[in-house]
Amino acid sequence: MAGTSLLDTVTSVFEQAASKLNLDPGVRALIGSPEREIAVTIPVAMDDGGLATFRGYRVQHSSARGPYKGGIRYDTGVDLEEVRALAALMTWKCAVVDIPYGGAKGGICCDPKALSKRELERLTRGYVNMMDPLFGPQVDIPAPDVNTDETVMSWIVDERSERGALWSRASVTGKPLVLGGSRGRREATGRGVATAALHALRRLGMDPVGRTVAVQGFGKVGSWAAKFLHDAGCKVVAVSDVSCALFREEGFDVSLLTEHVSGAGAGLLQGYECEGMCEIPRADILTLDVDVLVPAALEGQITADNAGAVKARIIVEGANGPTEFAADEILAGHGITVVPDIVANAGGVVVSYFEWVQNLQCLQWSMDDVMARLDALMTKACDEVWNTAAREGCSLRTAAYMLAISRVAEAAAARFSSIPRRGG
């Protein structure tokens, strides 16, 4: 099954967990399928005077538990199937950490690096113009994702405000502080990954101090995860990004790595130097003999082809769908614990939820308050998943999906009293 798509992986895990729950077939079809899928063509006036068109998408997977929630990504690989899979992941992610959202995802098929800032702004405003009736603080709340950031979110806020939308700030998260963003949002996903990793180590009776860590993808998620794990006493021995993979047996000073990437490295690890370090093939970072592996790059990194070579004791999924369905059984056979993406990388949507709450109440919490709330919510979710796995005799991934699916099914049943939750 090597090369399985993200949608196939998400669907397979959903079906496995739904069967274990003995979920009614009608309910399974209802909550397992997107409620709405939108594909649009966006015209953009280019800087050279020409006109270009781009395909944009938004999939609203579930509103059973609350407004749709999910990021918007700009990438050449964006298509309806990918967005559909990511929207489903958002539904289960919000449900497993028990925040009052449904799931959605959006994207535009484009190469953002080939567009000027003005062209990106026109593209963003055009996307909002097409999707605006579907966005709103009680309807659908976008956020940053791959190749989008707080600047893009600012354009969305402004476009919605110019169109007379009420509570436009609360209809977008991941904004800069001056426009109602939340403290801690940049760190949130990586912080959540680190919290899940430290929780797993302790659950397995392993003192975090001195435990070795490899991080694939030293970007918005991986760099923060590395920092917080380093601060907790772990030894980050390997890091990688699109430019290279670096290994240092004594461990890296993560602050120096971050300083290089944000300065001389121009966003990349390439060119970083320190004593005792060597460069390794990028693929090798997945098979290093470490205590914790954090795949925080792209989906489909651990497959049936390479899962047998993975030596990490614990995998904590920083990216969405980094492990293909066929690889899970192989990893389990080797005694490797996998903390699934819908739990491990939920810190971002948790703090997005905090941002939304602050906007609606016209408040702004302190960094300490945000981090304390994030840590508490992530720890609670991790405990619930681990306890479910122990009770049901299943993997953490299956347990996480079982928790999420049961919560969404319960919400659907409460809204429509004739819906059964379990089959006969």
Residue pair 198/210 in contact (Cβ under 8 Å)? The answer is no
- What is the average per-residue pLDDT within 111-136? 95
Q: Side by side, which strands form the sheet with 245-247? A: 278-280, 245-247, 235-240, 212-216, 292-295, 314-316, 337-339
Supply the DSSP symbol for 182. Answer: P
pLDDT of residue 1: 38
Give per-residue pLDDT as tens, 231-256: 999 999 999 999 999 999 999 999 99
Residues contacting residue 393 through CB under 8 Å, at least 6 positions apart: none
Q: Helix or strand or coil: residue 166?
A: coil
pLDDT of 215 > 90? The answer is yes
Given 69, 105, 175, 220, the catalytic residue: 105
pLDDT of 418 > 80? The answer is no
> What one-letter code names the amino acid at 85?
A
pLDDT of residue 164: 77
Domain pair 29-171 / 186-344, same fold: yes
pLDDT of 420 > 90? The answer is no
Give per-residue pLDDT as tens, 146-179: 999 999 999 999 999 887 776 788 999 999 999 9
Question: Burial level of 113, CB count in 10 A (0-12/13-18/19+)?
Answer: exposed
pLDDT of 419 > 80? The answer is no
Known catalytic membership, residue 105: yes
Long-range contacts of 307-312 (CB under 8 A, 24+ apart): 307/331, 307/334, 308/334, 310/286, 310/334, 310/336, 311/287, 312/214, 312/288, 312/336
Q: Side by side, which strands form the sheet with 51-62? A: 36-45, 51-62, 103-109, 68-75, 140-144
- What is the average per-residue pLDDT within 402-424? 80
Residue pair 347/191 in contact (Cβ under 8 Å)? The answer is yes
SS (H, E, C) 121-135: HHHHHHHHHHHHHHC
CA atoms of 334 and 336, how far apart (whole Å): 6
pLDDT of residue 261: 96
| Cα–Cα distance list, 17 to 71, 101, 304 (Å) | 25, 21, 21
- What is the average per-residue pLDDT within 394-423? 86
Give per-residue pLDDT as tens, 286-343: 999 999 999 999 899 999 999 999 999 999 999 999 999 999 999 999 999 999 999 9
pLDDT of residue 424: 40
Question: Model confidence at 133, in pLDDT bands (50, 70, 90)?
Answer: confident
Q: Which CATH number fits domain 186-344: 3.40.190.10, 3.40.50.11030, 3.40.50.720, 3.30.930.10?
A: 3.40.50.720
Question: Burial level of 162, CB count in 10 A (0-12/13-18/19+)?
Answer: exposed
Residue pair 293/286 in contact (Cβ under 8 Å)? The answer is yes
pLDDT of 413 > 50? The answer is yes
Q: How many residues are there in the chain?
A: 424
Residues contacting residue 205 through CB under 8 Å, at least 6 positions apart: none
Give the percent of the chain with pLDDT over 70: 97
First to last CA, the chain: 32
Question: Burial level of 209, CB count in 10 A (0-12/13-18/19+)?
Answer: exposed
CA atoms of 293 and 339, how far apart (whole Å): 10
Residue with tokens 């938004």: 58
pLDDT of 369 > 90? The answer is yes
* Domain parsing of the chain, residue ranges: 29-171, 186-344
Residue pair 191/371 in contact (Cβ under 8 Å)? The answer is yes
| Cα–Cα distance list, 339 to 141, 268, 299, 388 (Å) | 27, 27, 15, 13
Residue with tokens 């969404």: 408
Looking at domain 29-171, does it have CATH number 2.60.40.10? no
Find, among 336, 301, 335, the residue nearest to 318 by Cα.
301
pLDDT of 414 > 90? The answer is no
Give per-residue pLDDT as tens, 21-75: 999 999 999 999 999 999 999 999 999 999 999 999 999 999 999 999 999 999 9
Residue with tokens 């009736």: 133
Q: Helix or strand or coil: residue 46?
A: coil
